[in-house]
Amino acid sequence: MPLDTTLQLLARARGLSAADLATAIPRAGVATVTAWLRGEKMPGREQLDALARAFGVPAGALLAELASTLDPARTQGEHDLLAAYRELDTRQQGALLEVARSMAGTRARRRRRS
């Protein structure tokens, strides 16, 4: 999930407002924290570390999605598929996985026959 969504969810779960977070982040005012929560700006490394401490999570947990978007092995199609998958409800996700696994199995069987 994108960093802004992660920050929003963690803030909501911890009952922290942008003002609460701003007090825990060096050189960050409420306007800056609000921009992070809206995805308009990205926090710097020191600020990410401070956010992680404020939320009680490892800094890597905040960046997991960002790191995956930088994965050179992942194609644009894979990024698009993942984004679409995340928009589905649980039932739809299960159906999509079933179709994908079926298609992958068919392809593997064809290669073995060749």
pLDDT at 105: 84
The model's pTM is: 0.56
Is there a contact between 42 and 27 (Cβ–Cβ < 8 Å)? no
Is residue 87 scored above 70 in pLDDT? yes
Give me the chain's average pLDDT, please.
84
Domain map of the chain by residue range?
Answer: 3-69, 76-113
Residue 114, pLDDT above cutoff 70: no
Domain 3-69 matching CATH 1.10.260.40: the answer reads yes
